[in-house]
Structure 1
Amino acid sequence: MKRLGLLAIALALVAGSVVAASAATEVKMTGDAFVYGTFNANQNFTGWSTGSWNNNSGSYTPAGTQTEDRFQIWERFRLRSDFVANEAVKFRLGIKIQDTWGHGTFTAANPEVAIQVYQAYLQFKLPGCAAEVTAGLQDLSLPENAFFTDSVVFGGDRAAALVINAPLIDNTLAVTAGFARMLDRNRTYDTTTTQVADELDAYFLALPITLDGFKATPWGAVAVAGRDANYFTAGSYGPNSSFADSLLSAGTFMAPSGFRNAQNAYWWAGGTFEVTALDPVKLYADVIYGAGNKNDRKKNSREGWFIDAGAEYTGFDVVTPQVFAWWSTGEDKSTRNGSERMPSILSNWGPGNSFLFDCSQDLVKQGNMGVNPIGSMGLGASLNNISFIEKLSNRLTFVYLRGNNSAKAIRYLNTYMGSNPYFTMGRDLTDNEYIVSANFDTTYQIYENLAAVMETGWAHGEFQSSVWGHRLAEKSREGDAWKVAFGLTYKF
């Protein structure tokens, strides 16, 4: 009885300390939810599946093995809870549920409930200064103008990272520095007593500069890529894509395949620029150069440029006209000398909510064609923030793009591997191929936090039978790609 009494006292003391801690901690909750139906016709320009990697050994399923289901209803709920100790310290936990009606969580009988943690980080200010530290699973982006949604190198997704933000000159100059571990295949122990390089780590530094009428952010990043990391089974440009597509060269798949070195370096250097001194005319631009695997076999190297520019006029009350363009280096005729496309990690880039790119869609799942902006060039125009009726806004965007990749290089790999996920018809374009697209999007603000959203998209592409094969290219000519999505979004 004495032991039970001591145990009861100990439990009471623990409970009391928890209550006291809870009383000293403020919990703030925010979140969002959407429910919408989406109709997609001729996804991937064929209505068939793209190629997909099956495992980290590089085996894959070729394109055109599955057919589309044109109508689905998606639901997503996200809850972010901030546990605020004081103005200097907090912890964020973000969870989400996302699936289609009739599947997984939203199955009528015996649902498979799947709750994901998508944010989990500690954030605090260093004592005696304004520097802020964020450590944990967090939203992470390399610098890019918001005009183009997010970074073409890594943007709009979560990563386990340590990031420090600190002002150097008040309202003029700041510094952002960080480290992120993107991949770690074996975690604590490798599978045998032989150690392997199975991580992908990234280090980055940015110096945001703000002057009257002008902003610029020079930045750089370095990634250390281990030979045995899970490049084939993680990451996303769009459906069925991976880090292998965005980091590796086509030559990596040719004999002898894979890296020669246990670890290789990738690096990027760039700058973002925004000019508002000419207001109501605003100008935007990004310049990026990236390279990787330069000390490995020559066929494994990858390097290239990416440049974008945009302008908008904000002097009208009822519409904001925008124009934009981009250019990126593409593959030359040989795979033996490596890739001439800029490497990336995970892209989230696209102007004007374009149907072609994984960018700023409110109705995100099945919301775009997953076209790769790297290795292409294009131009477009958008009428943004069209508003003639209170609470109703629209956006109309046109885009034309053409590939910068040699048809010979893509054809050579497709002949060597067959229909493969590395080069995908409609995502990676040759210099003889083009896509035209339009999207018209509407938002009606029913209440302050509740909106009805409709997004529509159309795309037409011309693709070479000699590169992709007669079956896929001919299927793409049977009809254009279409999207109509309508639903409700709630933010709190």
Structure 2
Amino acid sequence: MKRIWSIALAAVFVLGAFTSARAATEVKMTGDARVYGVFFAEHNYTGWNNASWTSNTPTYAHAGTKTEDRFEIWERFRLRTDFVANEAVKFRLGIKVEDTWGHGTLTAANPAVAIAVYQAYLQFKFPGCSAEITAGLQDIDLPISNMFYGSPVFGGDRIAALTVKAPLIDNTLAVLAGFGRLIDTNRTYDTTTTQVADELDAYFLALPITLEGFKATPWGMIAVAGKNAGYFTAGSSTFSSQSFAENLVSAGTFMTPALWKNDQNAYWWAGGAFEVTALDPVKFYADVIYGAGAQSDRKKSKREGWFLDAGAEYTGWDVLTPKVFGWWSTGEDHSNYNGSERMPQIRSNWGPGNSFLFDDSQVLAKNSNMGMNPVGAWGLGASLDNISFVEKLTHRLTYTYIHGNNNPAAIRAVNAALGSNPYFEMGRDLTSNEFAMGVNFDTKYMIYENLAAVLETGWAHGQFQTSVWGHRLAAKSREGDAWKVACGLTYKF
């Protein structure tokens, strides 16, 4: 297999060179490499695994059946190649290799090949205008203000989509519209002669408005969710065990009669991202989002809720940038039979200040955070960013507090019915009687212009209810706090 992949890659580059010679196609390559070690203690606040789905039936494995391996060395390489015909037409191919030392690719003991394509799209401008069309495997993120990393609803790479971006009023108003097929479980043929709805499709629209000292981006998205799509086995988070299932459905969906009544359910979101820079160097940021889904299904299967965040920063100092931020979202009420009061999500990567609590902007990304869910909770935090007293050396210090908004009765009922399950997990989903806090201190030193040494550290402490999660998990979480140290090299070219 390794030989086949090597030949295939060589063929790609030879073909690129041949095309360049025959059709004046310009080939541009960029990429990055990361090699780093991670020491992480007390994953999930216990040092044990979370529960996880094992099939779309659904079946699942319980929490607390595996013990963490605290030290890993990761290596990641990404190569992005642009085949540029002219200023209006190009094709992007992005490939990556990523694994731990001693397990897969790039190791002496077991040199299996693990090359993945994460970008593959055609991009061109429509003749006679500035509209840009992108079709293929691409990066897509719903709008979010600059204070926060990623959308709490949907975002990430490897999204199969068609998008159109065009200016409507120069430097003032633009439009971004698109369609994405996020899941197609059975592809060409369903498993029997009876056709089933096994797709998850999304349609989105954003209208960025830019004025002097102010920027607003209203946006909306509609998703059509098929009943038989693989929500329980298709992962939707880059770190935690969270999947599409617990992001989209309500807890009542698991109660008898289980799962959805409708073959297809519509989900929709509407929101806005806002940035005020008129008082520069003081800048303000905010996001408002409402989402709902399965409104025509059984009452217990409905899900809807709000998510709001806000922050401010002062950029007038050269030596550091202080920031404060907070968020609030609706949580579950006392009953699972009246639907869910949490905003539905598809794939979230939201987080402020590189916070250790959330899967967000960590550079040394694998095994990097606590994977907590900001939806169904509120929180506050502060960050000292871009700290620099020595040339080429920068730091960031962030403190984050998170408190649950979910009624304990709702989570307790699901745990009593299912046991330790992937839908509600201790350390990811908090009741209104629970909280967690985290600190991260991150450092980057630029050895050369494109080579950096990176150190990311994190600490987290949580308080969890024994009556909700059981004595075994709650008692284990009190034996010690979670912490990590990650150190490595990053190279960009």
Secondary structure at the counterpart of residue 334 of structure 1: coil
Kindly indicate whether residue 260 of structure 2 is the aligned counterpart of residue 259 of structure 1: yes
1:87 counterpart residue number: 87
Instruction: Give the direction of change, closer, same or farther, for the CA distance of 1:355–1:110 in structure 2 (3 Å limit).
Output: closer
What residue in structure 1 maps to residue 219 of structure 2?
219
The answer to whether 1:414 aligns with 2:415 is yes
Shift of residue 109 of structure 1?
A: 3.1
C-alpha distance in 2 between matches for 1:49 and 1:343: 24
2:453 matched residue in structure 1: 452
Larger Rg: 1
Partner of 2:372: 371
Are 1:296 and 2:305 an aligned pair? no
Q: Deviations over 1:229-256 (max 9, x none)?
A: 0101113333222000100100111111
Structure 2: gaps (5+ residues): 1-14
Q: How does 1:29-428 map to 2 (within 5 A)?
A: 29-237=29-237, 238-428=239-429
How far, CA to CA, are the matches of 1:19 and 1:38 in structure 2?
Answer: 42
Matched residue SS, 2:262: coil
CA distance in 2, matches of 1:57, 1:82: 42
Letter in 1 for 2:93: L
Q: What is the TM-score normalised by the length of structure 1?
A: 0.96
Q: Which amino acid aligns with 1:485?
A: A
| Aligned-partner SS, 1:38 | strand
CA distance in structure 2 between the aligned counterparts of 1:252 and 1:483, rounded to whole angstroms:
36
Distance 2:381 2:22 in 1: 53
1:302-348 deviations in whole A, cap 9, x for unaligned? 00000000000000010000000000000000000000000010001
Q: What amino acid is aligned across from residue 177 of structure 1 in structure 2?
A: A
Structure 1 letter corresponding to 2:382 = A
Distance of 1:47 and 1:106 partners within structure 2 = 28
The whole-number CA distance in structure 1 between the counterparts of 2:208 and 2:21 is 38
Distance in 2, Cα, partners of 1:420 & 1:57: 14
Question: Separation in 2 of the partners of 1:466 and 1:397?
Answer: 32
**Matched residue, 1:442:** 443
Question: Between the two proteins, what is the percent identity of the paired residues?
Answer: 73
Secondary structure in structure 1 of the residue aligned to 2:413: helix
1:113-154: CA deviation from partner (whole Å, max 9, x where unpaired): 110000000000000000000000000111111311111101
Distance 1:19 1:295, change over 3 A: closer
Per-residue deviation at 1:70? 0.4
What is the identity, as a one-letter code, of the residue corresponding to 1:247?
L
CA distance in 2, matches of 1:347, 1:451: 28
- Following superposition, the deviation at residue 101 of structure 1 comes to 0.3
Instruction: Quickly say closer, same or farther: Cα 1:110–1:150, change in 2 above 3 A.
Output: closer
Could you say if the C-alpha distance between residues 95 and 19 of structure 1 is closer, same or farther in structure 2, counting changes exceeding 3 Å? closer
Structure 2: how far apart are the matches of 1:263 and 1:162? 22
Structure 2 CA distance for aligned equivalents of residues 166 and 63 of structure 1: 48
Q: CA deviation at 1:107?
A: 3.1
Distance across 1 between alignment mates of 2:30 and 2:21? 22
User: Are 2:102 and 2:109, in contact at CA under 8 Å, matched by a contact in 1?
Assistant: no
RMSD: 1.2
AA at the equivalent of 1:202: A
Listed one character per residue, the Cα deviations across residues 273-309 of structure 1 (whole Å, up to 9, x for unaligned) are: 0000000000000000000000000100000000000
Alignment partners' CA distance in 2, 1:127 and 1:94 = 26
Q: After superposition, give the CA deviation of every residue in 1:63-113 in whole Å (9 maximum; x if it has no partner).
A: 000000000000000000000010000000000000000001133134111
Summarize deviations over 1:1-51 as a string: whole Å, max 9, x none.
xxxxxxxxxxxxxx9x95576441111000001000000000110000000
Structure 2 counterpart of 1:105, which letter? T
1:38/1:18 Cα in 2 relative to 1: closer, same or farther (>3 Å)? closer
Deviation of 1:191 after TM superposition, in Å, equals 1.3
Aligned partners of 2:487, 2:458: CA distance in 1, in Å?
Answer: 12
Give the residue type in structure 2 aligned to 1:156.
G
- SS of the equivalent of 1:105 reads coil
Query: How many angstroms does 1:155 deviate by?
Result: 1.7
**1:11 aligned partner:** none
Question: Which runs of no fewer than 5 residues in structure 1 stay unpaired?
Answer: 1-14
State the one-letter code of the partner of 1:405. N
Give the whole-Å Cα distance in 2 for the aligned partners of 1:437 and 1:267: 32
Matches of 1:23 and 1:355 in 2, distance apart? 49
How many Å separate the matches in 2 of 1:481 and 1:18? 53
User: Match of 1:280, as an amino acid?
Assistant: P
- TM-score if structure 2 supplies the norm length? 0.95
Q: Does 1:432 align with 2:414?
A: no
CA distance in 1, matches of 2:288, 2:207: 15
Distance 1:374 1:487, change over 3 A: same
Alignment partners' CA distance in 2, 1:216 and 1:457: 33
In 2, Cα distance between equivalents of 1:269 and 1:309: 17
Q: Could you tell me how far apart the structure 2 residues matched to 1:289 and 1:268 are?
A: 6
- SS across alignment from 2:154: coil
**d(CA) in 1 for partners of 2:152, 2:19:** 46
Moved more, 18-27 or 199-208: 18-27
Quote the offset at 1:436 in angstroms: 1.1
Displaced runs of 4 or more, over 3 A: 17-23
SS of structure 1 residue aligned to 2:351: coil
